[in-house]
Structure 1
Amino acid sequence: MSLLRHDRGVGGVARAYWSQVHPVFMLPPVAASLFGAILAGDGAGTATTTATAVHAVAIFAAVYTAHLKDGYVDFHVRGEDDDHPLTERGCRVGLVASSALFALCCLLLWELAGWLAVALTVPTWGIAYLHAPQLDTNPLTATTGYPLGIALAILGGYAVQTGTVSGVALGFALVFLVLLTGIKVVDDAQDYDYDRSIDKITVAVRVGPARAHRVAYGLMATALVVVVALAVSQIFPPTAVLAALAFAAVALVARRAEPELATMLLVRGSYVFLAVLVAAVWFQPLSRLGI
């Protein structure tokens, strides 16, 4: 049986599997893994750069599994998508390969970083594999799956370096969980009419688009307030406030935009938010001046 529905040859196989790499949604989890390692800072123990790289690959494999499984379910099972480059067999082969890569990374992490890093990494594959069709039909799990994966990537990246999880790491993980959950609610609202027609219960379908947007921006505002509060209390670096201000500016613009544009702005804004936090943690310029 063929792996491909349209293309042929080795090049076609490579193109088909590469088509399941979606940088917009795959880069943030990998970046979150690296952010966790940066957050460890001077607390890093005997873990090596190799362990950090292995954790980042594990997170990539988990997210790739999610996209491949989601495409398989939406096209071959539900018939929602118009096309897909892989046959059912091709999807299953890809899922086995990505899951095997993830398992290999976990075995390496056990040797390189210890059990806690593995314990925080394994659930990311579970969230990825079960996203469709199990978790994406419930408004809570459908909305929080991706944000929870990001939070676990931060904690896992931190644990790879230190063998522990600190309050600071938990604080950053919580902030991203809440902020990205808000963004996901806005994203899901784009498909309100379609999701309602197929009885897919998202937050927007459950409470209505207008109330869903209020919930979404309330969650995002809560996350930003937490960042400022923890920065003022010197748990986060003081310059983390700049990340909150940058995202708040984007959110104010996005709130007046239509759903598709709002989602694009908020997703890009989350990249800026993460980038500024990375700089705040890595350089901590104000702390060096004694502020």
Structure 2
Amino acid sequence: MSLARHGAGVGATLRAFWSQVHPIFMLPPLAASLFGAVLAREAVPVLAAVHVVAMFAAVYTAHIKDGYVDFYVRDEDDDHPLTERGCRVGLSLSTTVFTLCCLVLLALVGWIAVALTVPTWLIAYYHAPQLDMNPVTATTGYPLGIALSLFAGFYVQAETIAAVPLGFAVVFLVLLSGIKVIDDAKDYDYDRSIRKRTVAVALGPDSAYTVAYGLMITALLVVVAFAVLQVFPPTAVLAALAFAAVAVVAQRAPPDLATMLLIRGSYVFLAVLVAAVWFEPLARVG
């Protein structure tokens, strides 16, 4: 039985599986893992690579499962490159890779590293159709996965719990939750028709925008406050200013464009934070 719905042979199958790699949504968790490693200051490349592969496998699981649910269960999408069997094979492969990475982390680091990593797969697998039907979990699932990726990426290297990576994880959770609210708002009409309770459906589009920008402003203020308190390096304020500039432009844009601008703004935000930590080393972490 074929794994790909369009075409036959190895090439068509590989293209179908590759189609489930969505860089815009996949890069942030991988970058967050590496940022966690940077915060540890003396990263071991092998450990960083293992955790990055685990995050790739987790996000790939989410993409496969989400596509399967949207096309085969909800009849939401017009097309899907994989057959039902192809989706099951993809889930099995990604889960196997994730499990192997966890076993390596267990052997090289310890059970706490695994305990911080496993929830990312659980969020990915259960996002659809369970978590995405509730306003809170639909909004915070992806941001929480990125926050855990950052924190676990640090722990894998440092084998300790510290204030700095925890602070950054919280900032990303709040900031990205705001972006996710706006991202969901663009599907307001459809989500309402299938009784999918996003924040926009639960509160209405106007209130959802208020919540979204309230979350993002809160995250930026936390960055500034932590910089003033010397928890974050002072130059981290530049990251807040850079994202704030993008948010001001996005506020006047329609949902689709606003989402695109804010997601790319989060890339800039992360890049400036990496530079702030890399070029201005912290005397101590935690």
TM-score between both structures, scaled by the size of structure 2 = 0.97
1:218 aligns with 2:241: no
Of 201, 206, 226, the match for 1:230: 226
- Counterpart residue number, 1:54: 50
Helix, strand or coil: the match of 1:159? Answer: helix
- Counterpart residue number, 1:246: 242
* Structure 2 residue ranges without an equivalent (≥5): none
Per the TM alignment, residue 269 of structure 1 is displaced from its structure 2 partner at its CA by 0.2
CA distance in 1, matches of 2:118, 2:158: 18
- Counterpart residue number, 1:126: 122
- Counterpart residue number, 2:194: 198
CA distance in 2, matches of 1:276, 1:121: 25
- Counterpart residue number, 2:272: 276
Deviations 1:19-78 (A, max 9, x none): 000000000000000000001115x6xxx3101100000000000000000000000111
CA distance in 2, matches of 1:7, 1:66: 24
Written as runs of structure 1 = structure 2, the 5 A alignment for 1:67-216 is 67-216=63-212
Per the TM alignment, residue 165 of structure 1 is displaced from its structure 2 partner at its CA by 1.7
Partners of 1:243 and 1:277 within 8 A in 2: yes
Give the residue type in structure 1 aligned to 2:197: I
- Counterpart residue number, 2:11: 11
Give the residue type in structure 2 aligned to 1:146: Y
Partners of 1:185 and 1:216 within 8 A in 2: yes
Deviations 1:101-130 (A, max 9, x none): 000000001112211111100000000000
Give the residue type in structure 2 aligned to 1:279: A
1:258 aligns with 2:251: no
Helix, strand or coil: the match of 2:256? Answer: helix
CA distance in 2, matches of 1:28, 1:12: 28
Helix, strand or coil: the match of 1:257? Answer: coil
Deviations 1:183-242 (A, max 9, x none): 000000000011111111100000000000000000000000000000011110110000
Per the TM alignment, residue 153 of structure 1 is displaced from its structure 2 partner at its CA by 0.3
Deviations 1:80-109 (A, max 9, x none): 000001110000000000000000000001
- Counterpart residue number, 2:39: 39
CA distance in 1, matches of 2:48, 2:111: 15
* Structure 1 residue ranges without an equivalent (≥5): none
Partners of 1:116 and 1:164 within 8 A in 2: no
Helix, strand or coil: the match of 2:128? Answer: coil
- Number of residue pairs matched by the alignment: 283
Deviations 1:228-271 (A, max 9, x none): 00001111011000000000000001001111110000000000
Task: Let me know the Cα RMSD of the aligned residues.
Answer: 1.1
CA distance in 2, matches of 1:115, 1:96: 23
Q: Which consecutive aligned stretches of 4+ in structure 1 deviate over 6 angstroms post-superposition?
A: none
Helix, strand or coil: the match of 2:252? Answer: coil
Percent identity of equivalent pairs: 74
CA distance in 2, matches of 1:276, 1:192: 33
- Counterpart residue number, 2:22: 22
Deviations 1:125-146 (A, max 9, x none): 0000000011111111011000
